[in-house]
Chain A
Amino acid sequence: MEFAELLQIWFAALFTVWIYSIAFRDNLFFKFAEHTFVGAAAGHSIVYGVDNVRRLGWTPLVQGQLIYLVAFILGIMLYTRYHSQHFWISRFPVSVMAGVGLGLSLRATVTSEFIAQILSTAQMKVLGVSPWCAGLYNLLFIVITVTVVYYFVFTFPRIHAGRLNWISRIARYGMMAAFGYSFANTILSRFQMIFGRLDFLMNSWLPLSGAVIALPIVLVLLAYAMIPASRRPWPKQLAATPSDD
């Protein structure tokens, strides 16, 4: 195995173990890994921001499509938001983005999330279906859909507490049943992710020479780092220094 690949696996494994250590206690290694993550994420965003500007903006510009100059000027104007007085200049590019985004989402939301959903619900047959229980299930579907829409559209407290409160109750029961299902799926998702990382540790890292020895050392160091600062011999908590603002 190449040295670079070896180093990559070691780094990835150590970061994995350090992040998982937070499940037990906060510690220096977790903080180190956490700050690495945040910094890497921000750096990665810059990389692909530059890549997109170059590939999708600069390339057509140098190929003669001068209208892209406007996009570049607007893009630079975005960064005036950090100026204490001239931040209002950034409102123009934001308005372009907001207008385009609003137009794109609004034009299709009515069709895809409103009309299509209502149409699909209205097409459900309640009578004259075989077997007969299918009609009952469809009726349940329609009732839950309508009551949930009612629950979210009519938000005055009187509506939910008065004689029609049975509508809200049916909606709540339907939603809680749905959330239980979602909860189970969330467990599946998270466990699948944990498996992915443990699979990497067991099948990519531990087979490496030295990893089996390194693992207990890493775990001991982690356990030591989890001891409260006042109780461990070193390092003690760093004393607070006066602010120079």
Chain B
Amino acid sequence: MMRLVRRQIPIGVVIVTSVIVMSDYFFKITGTGPLVTMLTNWGIILTAFTLGFGAINLFYLHTRHIRRRTSGQWFFSIWLLLMVVVFAGTGILTGATSSTYTWLYNSSYFALSATVYSSLGFYMTSGIYRSLRARNIEALLLLITGTIAVMRNAPALAVAAPILIDMDKWLSEFVVTSAQRGIMIGAALGAIALGIRTLTGRETGFLGRLTEAEREG
């Protein structure tokens, strides 16, 4: 009974909801339209509920650091949790698009996010100089196409040497697109296979961690 409730019913829910959603696309069955609309709207709300998980996990991790007074970390953990509270409190109390919250976002989160993304550019430059070597045919091909594309991406070089534009266009149209298409078809086959496994109840990764009874087999 417990196995039915804790395992089989959730698997059944996945199968039933996905079949309903798919049948609305392929067939015209009266009643499935509003049902799918309701299910997708529920999906939106449930995803919104999951947005709190990150903060909860952070609280678990960093309160542990604070309790243990982890050397060189615990005061940063206090600051981190304070930031969570300040952002969440300001946003919820004054509104997600209020001028106060926008100020907070622009002065910290936006600047940090933009800078963190961009800082990888420095590591890439170091990697280009130290590691990008034509050691074999594959690496040579990567180097040649990469260099052509880098030169084409420099606007002035592309204007000065229009052949770069033609070479880049040829590369993107016939080499890059074809390879990416092959990868896409392969990935799609994998996704379809995974979907069919889930629909037949063979893929149960979404159930998360196992109960004691399930672990004992």
Residues of B within 8 A of A (CB-CB), count: 126
CA distance A25 to B70 in the complex (A): 22
Tell me which residues across on chain B come within 8 A of A175, comparing CB atoms: 179, 182-183
B96 vs chain A, min Cβ distance (A) = 4
Report which B residues bind A (CB closer than 8 A): 6-7, 9-11, 13-22, 25-26, 38-52, 54-56, 58, 67-72, 76-77, 79-88, 90-92, 96, 101, 103, 105-124, 128, 137-139, 141-150, 152-153, 170-189, 191-192, 195, 198-199, 206-209, 211
Given known contacts A39-B58, A42-B58, A99-B15, A47 and B182 CB-to-CB distance under 8 angstroms: no
25 pairs across A/B with beta carbons < 8 Å? A9-B107, A19-B112, A35-B77, A35-B80, A40-B108, A47-B92, A48-B51, A56-B44, A79-B49, A91-B207, A93-B46, A95-B13, A95-B14, A100-B43, A101-B43, A103-B18, A107-B26, A110-B192, A137-B173, A144-B178, A148-B181, A149-B186, A181-B146, A194-B121, A237-B72
Interface SS of chain B: helix
* Interchain CB contact under 8 A, A74 and B68: no
* Interchain CB contact under 8 A, B112 and A40: yes
Select from chain B the residue with minimum beta-carbon distance to A13: B111
Report which A residues bind B (CB closer than 8 A): 4, 7-9, 11-13, 15-16, 19-20, 22-23, 31-33, 35-53, 56-57, 67-68, 70-72, 74-76, 78-79, 81-82, 87-88, 90-110, 113-114, 117-118, 120-121, 137-138, 140-142, 144-149, 151-153, 171-188, 190-191, 193-194, 196-197, 200, 237-241, 243-245
